[in-house]
Every structure is written in C-alpha cells, then in structure tokens.
Amino acid sequence: MASTFPIRRIVVAVVLSCAVLVSTTACGGETRSTQSAALTAAESSPSPTASAERQKLAKTRFVANAGLAAGAAYQWIVKPYKAGKFKKGAKGRTFALVKAGLAGAFTYNRLKAASENAKGDPLLSKAVAPLSSGIDSLKGLGSKLRKGEAGDADVGMFEKMINGVKDAGQKAGAPVKDQVPSAGQLSGG
C-alpha cells in the first residue's frame, strides 16, 4: 500500500500535464498568417467614425498624460523648490531631491507621451509641435535634480514647458488640469 502512493502522484502529474498540453494546443489552433490576415482586413476596412474616435482618444490621452506631468512637476519640483527644500542644509533636502528626480523623469516621460498623443489630432498636433524640442531638452533634468545640481533656470524650464503644453491643449480644445500622480506611478515611470 505504501508503494502505490508515489505511483498515484506520478499518474496524476502525467494526466494533469497532458491536460495542460492539450488545452494549450487547442487554444492556439489558428495560424499566425490567418490571424494577421484577419487583423489586416479589420484594419483596412475603415469605419466612418474611426478617425473621429481616434482623434477623441488622442485628446483624452493627451489630457491625461499632460495632467500627470503638470501635477508631478508642480507637486514635487516647483513647489518644493520655491519653499527652499533643495537648498543645502534644508530639512528633508535629500528626500525632496530624490522625489524631484523621480518627478523630473516622470514628467519628461509623460510629456513625451502627451506629445505622441497629440499627433493623433490635427489641431492638437499643430499646437504642440513647437514644444517638442523643449520637451526633449528636459531629458537630463531628472538626474540633475536628484543630484541637487538644478537651479532657477532648470526649474523654470519645467514650469515653462508645463505651461506651454497646458496652453497648447487649451487652444486645441483639450484643457489640461494638474493631476498629482501616486507614489507608485511616480516610481514606476
């Protein structure tokens, strides 16, 4: 009786393995060429509202990304900087600089995403296009903030870019409101 116990386990393991293998192959019955042909056919047959929906989603995504960028920049860069949290000897300086560095990287990431989203709407695209070089110039400011090397001009660049993106959104009918991201969003990028 003791010798049949391990055999039962082996039989159960084999049966379960076969069941998983059969279900996996059953789910993947279509070939890749069939799937890609179906996707190509679906994409090539435009519906009358496809471009209107795409533009609406572009504006919605733009507003969400730009709002998160604005909220992060104001909450963790501009506001602490104006309060003197980045000055040497300030209480909580290290923590404020680390948060500012994360917020700088997050802000750059969300502004780049907002810039890409703007390309889906003609009016928004025209409004945001002049800002793309300025957004690109923010790339290294996150690490500069984290190291405590940022000055008035650097923080002013963040403010200028955020205000420029907000103005562009307002002119294109996509008003942007600050949305402070959670700590998880900030650290996750």
Give tens-digit pLDDT for 136-174: 888 888 888 888 888 888 888 888 889 999 999 999 888
Rounded to an integer, what is the distance from CA 139 to the centroid of its chain?
15
- Model pLDDT, residue 134: 87
Across residues 19-36, what is the average pLDDT?
A: 44
Predicted confidence (pLDDT) at residue 59 exceeds the cutoff of 60: yes
**84: Cβ–Cβ under 8 A, 6 or more apart, which residues?**
90
Q: How far is CA 28 from CA 20, 22, 23, 42, in A?
A: 13, 10, 9, 20
pTM, 2 dp: 0.68
Give tens-digit pLDDT for 121-139: 899 999 998 888 888 888 8
**Among 33-42, 46-55, 87-96, which is the least confidently predicted range?**
33-42
pLDDT category at 55 given cuts 50, 70, 90 is: low
Give tens-digit pLDDT for 87-100: 888 899 999 998 88
Neighbouring CB atoms inside 10 A of 180's CB total 15
Mean predicted lDDT score pLDDT of the chain: 78
Residue 23: left if φ>0, alpha if ψ -120 to 50, beta else—which one?
alpha
- Model pLDDT, residue 17: 57
